Amino acid sequence: MSFAEQLTRLQAFLDADELHDEALDYVAAHGYLTALSISSDIVPDREWIDALFAEEPHYADAAQREEIEATLVALKAHIGRQLASDEEFELPCDLDLGEEPDDSDLRGWCIGFMEGVFLREAAWFETAEEEVSEMLLPIMVGSGLFDDQPEFSDIAADANLMDDMIVQIPEALTALYLLCNAPDEKPAILKPRHH
C-alpha cells in the first residue's frame, strides 16, 4: 500500500464519528504531529498516540491498530522531513478561517498544533521564550483558544489583521523548526545554566 493510500485510510479512521469526542480528527492530528516534529523534546510514540485519541479507539483488530499507529508514526516522520527541507511547508487545509472560523479546517489544525505544544509546554519556551511566543502567535490566533484574552480578542476583531497573521503560519513553522532544531552555535559560556 502506498503512503497516500495509508493516509487516506488514516484520514477515514480519524474522521469517523466513533472516536472519543476529544480525539483529534485528521487535520487536527496533522497540526499535532507538526508541533511534535518541531518540539526539541522528543515525546515517546506511545504517549503522543494515546493523547491523540484521548481514549483507546475501538479497532477492528490488532492489525488495524498496528496499521493506524504505524501510519501516524510515518506521517510524523514525513512532516519532520517536510519541515527540514527548504520548501515552504504545506498544510493539509486552506490558510483561511472562512466565514465560520470554528468550523474551519484551519482552526482544527491550529488547535491540534497547540495540543502538541501543551504536551511539552515547558520545553517550547525554555530557551527562547520571546521568539517562540512571537512565532506561535499566528497559530495561537488561528486556534481561537485564547480569544478570551484581551490581546487576542483585539486581533480576532480585526479581519484584515487575522488574515495577515494566518498567512504567516507556514513561515512561522519553518522559523520555529529552525529555532528548536538548528544546532546551537552559541559559545558554551552563554548557554543558560540550569540550577
Query: What band does 183 get if pLDDT is binned at 50, 70 and 90?
Result: low
pLDDT at site 87: 86
- How far apart are the C-alpha atoms of 52 and 96, rounded to whole Å? 24
pLDDT for residue 184? 57
Report the alpha-carbon distance of residue 85 to residue 87 in Å, rounded: 6
Domains of the chain by range and CATH? 1-179 (1.20.120.740)
Q: Which residue has the higher pLDDT, 87 or 191?
A: 87
Task: At 96, list the grid cell.
Answer: 483561511
Residue 37 exposure: Cα atoms within 13 Å on the Cβ side: 26
In sequence order, the 6+-apart residues with CB closer than 8 A to the CB of 132 are 124, 125, 176, 179, 180
Cβ neighbours of residue 36 closer than 8 Å, sequence gap 6 or more: 43, 48, 76, 116, 119
pLDDT at 54: 94
| Average pLDDT over every residue of 45-65 | 96
Q: pTM value?
A: 0.91
**Residue bearing the bigger pLDDT, 181 or 3:** 3
User: Which grid coordinates belong to 74?
Assistant: 510515518
What was the pLDDT predicted at 186?
43
Query: Given a cut of 50, is residue 142 above it in pLDDT?
Result: yes
- Sign of the CA dihedral with 183 first, then 78, 131, and 123 last: negative
Question: In the prediction, which pLDDT does 120 show?
Answer: 95
